[in-house]
Amino acid sequence: MSLLAVVYHLVPESPILIACNHDDMTDAVWPIPAIHSGKPRVLASVDPATGGTFLGVNQNGMMVAALPRRKSQSTVGTDSRNVLARQLLRSPSARSAMEAAMSELNDDQYEGANFVIVDADSGWVVHAGDHLDYVALEHGLSLVGHNDVNDESDDRLRMANRLLTLQNLDSPIKFLAVASKVFARGPSVPGRPSIVIKDEGYGTVCSTLIALGKKPRDAIYQHSSGSPDAARYEDYSPMLRDILSRGIREARMRSKV
């Protein structure tokens, strides 16, 4: 059901640190991350059929992720959470994206979802299940799965929290090193929770690690185009730095007009 960890405003040089395992049908094939044109530009793995994404970063330094959330009843003609995530990435800020999500989800026409929306100024989790609400991210480590943020009844979240906090996450390099191992932890004993999911026809199909620093040159984007216990993380940082630099240049040009 996907799992995301965000370390928010804990590490001074990198206010936003993200680790995310995307779970899907095992025959689902997501393209490698690429820069997608538009205003603003976005770095994401985008489904060519729908234009949706489960996670992306725009040139303003805002990250949006869409995680599946259970609903007690399915909505007929349900719209895609991933398509909405791609739309939210057009917002200029995390606060405006959160407000857009709350407005769009009010009619209950979308798949159940948790949207994680964060930039350097604010961070939010929108819970869109049987009820619609949002919470502001606290500074520090937060974990999101298929229920509420930091749900203590979720064995997978509790395991991720324990493994991530065994060491002090005091730098982006330390976080990425720890998270790359934690989020690649596969099933060990049958019946026990695991970070990588491997069920019949469903499981972890890719994984993403992100560090958003105060300067574009400090940004890091690593992505595993497969289950991270079997596929290595590849570096897409130059593309992220490129769009973030573009965002700064365009903001400066607007300020001079």
Residue 72 has pLDDT above 90, yes or no: no
pLDDT of residue 255: 79
Yes or no: say if 223 and 199 are a contact pair by the CB < 8 Å rule: no
The DSSP-derived string for 138-184 is PSEEEEESSSSTT-TT-HHHHHHHHHHTTS---SHHHHHHHHHHHTT
Yes or no: say if 126 and 118 are a contact pair by the CB < 8 Å rule: no
- Closest by CA to 200, choosing from 22, 25, 23, is 25
As a whole number of angstroms, the distance between CA 202 and CA 52 comes to 19
Residue 116 has pLDDT above 80, yes or no: yes
pLDDT of residue 74: 61
Residue 89 has pLDDT above 90, yes or no: yes
Q: CA quadruple 55, 56, 61, 62: dihedral positive or negative?
A: negative
As a whole number of angstroms, the distance between CA 109 and CA 248 comes to 36
Residue whose pair of structure tokens reads 């992505």 in the numeric block: 223
Count of helix runs (H) and strand runs (E) in the chain: 5, 14
**Please, what are the domains in the chain?**
3-256 (3.60.60.10)
pLDDT of residue 75: 55
Classify strands 34-36 and 42-44 as parallel, antiparallel or unpaired.
antiparallel
Q: Which residues contact 220 (CB under 8 A, 6 or more apart)?
A: 172, 176, 209, 210, 211, 213, 235, 237, 240
Residue 196 has pLDDT above 90, yes or no: yes
Classify strands 140-144 and 3-11 as parallel, antiparallel or unpaired.
antiparallel
- Closest by CA to 67, choosing from 171, 151, 184, 179, is 151
Q: How confident is the model at residue 106 (pLDDT cuts 50, 70, 90)?
A: confident
Tokens representing residue 207 in the block: 């994984």
Q: How confident is the model at residue 192 (pLDDT cuts 50, 70, 90)?
A: confident
- Tens digits of per-residue pLDDT, 132-148? 999 999 999 999 999 99
Other beta carbons less than 10 A from residue 170's beta carbon: 11
Average pLDDT over residues 109-130: 95
Which segments of 66-116 does DSSP mark as H helices, in order? Answer: 81-88, 94-104
Q: What percent helix, strand, coil does the chain show, rounded to 5?
A: 25, 30, 45
Angle between the 94-104 and 81-88 helix axes, to the nearest 10 degrees? 140
